[in-house]
Amino acid sequence: MELDNIEKLLEKYFDASTTVAEEETLRAYFSKDDVAAHLEPYTHMFQYFTNAKEERFTKQVPLKPSVNIYKWGSVAAVAVLMFGIYFGNEYQQKQIADQEKARLAYNQTKKAFALLAENFSRGTEKVAYLNEFEETRDKIYNNN
């Protein structure tokens, strides 16, 4: 009868539906020496739970930590991040200004070359006119 009751309590225990009193009954049964052979594997488990319940932490826990390295590490990380954002933004603005200066210089050079090409074109027309003039002059002088 008692064995039947213990088996039912074990089922309830593994379904997590036992009360504290029922768990005490199981602990008391498995702490005895005359445990049924088919239930002996559970003996070690309940002995462990009983021993673990009696363990106590005896070491002193300091209430104030001496130096909180994580606190100072996070402060340093924020400082590095802010430093990077400030100087990174300044560097980016400098790069944009340099690109704008380069674009302005390119446009001015382009205008200068266009003006030079236009003047060369006029000069070429004048040279062609001079060639005509020389040919005509040579014809006049060579005929005489």
- Over residues 41-93, the pLDDT tens digits come to 888 888 888 777 778 878 887 777 566 677 778 888 888 888 888 887 888 88
| Number of C-beta neighbours around residue 29 at 10 A | 21
Are 23 and 13 spatial neighbours (Cβ–Cβ below 8 Å)?
yes
Two structure tokens written together for 25: 């009954």
Handedness of CA 46, 51, 54, 55 (dihedral sign): negative
pTM of the model: 0.39
Q: Which helix (H) or strand (E) holds 52?
A: helix 41-54
Is residue 65 classed as helix, strand or coil in its secondary structure?
coil
**Cα–Cα dist 82/140, whole Å:** 87
